[in-house]
Structure formats: C-alpha cells, structure tokens
C-alpha cells in the first residue's frame, strides 16, 4: 500500500512510520516541514522524504500527486504551547493544513485519510463517565480549537 504521512518526522508520526516499515509491504512518503529527520535516520533509506509546508496547498497537493497514496495519515500540526504562542501560525498549519490535506485527498481521489485529534478538544469538564461520541467538546486552547475543527 502507498502511504503518505504528514508530520512523519514528529513524535507520533515517526512511530507510525516505524510501525509501517516494520509491517512491510508499504511505499512510505513522509511529508514534513522541520527538516529534522533524526527520529528516522536509521530507516531513511526505506522512505521518501518530502519537505513542505502543510499550510501551503500547492505543497501538499504536489506531495499527494507524486506519492499517489492509498491512505494519508494526517499527523502534521503545531503543538499546543506553540499554537497558543502563535495562533496565526497554528491557524495556517493546523486549520488550513487539515483543510488542504482533505481537499487534496478529495481532488486526487485518495480513498482514506486518517486524522489524529487530541484530548485538548474536550477542555476540563469531560465528565466522570469517560469520553464517547456524545461528549461535549469545549476546548480551552487555540490548539484544541484547531483540532476540533479537524
């Protein structure tokens, strides 16, 4: 299966990449903004690394066109503290970036997009019964709000 992973050099993204490499049988393209590839250095020869800005539609559209994925794991985002310190950058990456991934997948007919949200979408009052599909989401941070958008 051909797979595109946004944010694939980040903490969660790199673990997903490693699991897919271990599973075998996948053509893996890692889309990332940072240029920091140390988490994947030992398996870099088994991946295609593409550097780009997820908030820039032409970057993600080009990556999807070139990799022709059967699935996209959308894990690219600016994390909580950084999002709250720079809401404009978080809007660009976390909100517009999610839209860009979904729009590129729609246009290029990618059959599956997997998105990682965050407990940050719920805020503090999650109730004592656990979280389900009916749990009210009231984020307290810009990061949580951006993830709720997704």
Please state, in angstroms and rounded to a whole number, the distance separating the CA atoms of residues 71 and 93. 20
Tell me, what's the pLDDT at 127?
60
Q: How many structural domains does the chain have?
A: 1
- Residue in this structure with the two tokens 């903490």, named with its chain if needed: 11
- Summarised one tens digit per residue, pLDDT across range 114-143 is 998 888 888 876 666 778 888 888 899 999
Tell me, what's the pLDDT at 128?
65
CATH number at residue 131: 3.40.50.720
- Residue in this structure with the two tokens 């993830």, named with its chain if needed: 147
Tell me, what's the pLDDT at 124?
74
Full domain range(s) for residue 111: 2-149
Tell me, what's the pLDDT at 37?
82
Q: Is the CB of residue 135 less than 8 Å from the CB of residue 122?
A: yes
One DSSP character per residue, 36-92 reads --GGGGGGGGGSEEEE--TTSHHHHHHHHHHH--SEEEE-----HHHHHH-HHHHII
pTM of the model: 0.91
All residue ranges of the chain with pLDDT < 50 are none
């Amino acid at each position: 299966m051909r797979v595109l992973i946004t944010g694939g050099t980040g903490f969660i993204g790199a673990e997903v990449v490693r699991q897919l490499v271990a599973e075998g049988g996948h053509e893996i393209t890692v889309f990332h903004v940072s240029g920091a590839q140390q988490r994947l250095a030992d398996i870099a020869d088994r991946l295609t690394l593409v550097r780009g800005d997820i908030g820039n539609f032409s970057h993600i559209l080009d990556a999807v066109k070139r990799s022709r994925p059967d699935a996209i794991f959308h894990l690219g985002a600016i994390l909580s503290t950084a999002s709250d310190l720079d809401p404009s950058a978080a809007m660009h990456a976390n909100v517009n970036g999610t839209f860009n991934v979904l729009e590129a997948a729609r246009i290029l007919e990618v059959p599956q997009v997997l998105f990682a949200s965050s407990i940050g979408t719920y805020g503090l009052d999650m109730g004592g019964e656990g979280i389900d599909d009916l749990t009210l989401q009231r984020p307290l941070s810009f990061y949580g709000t951006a993830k709720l958008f997704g």
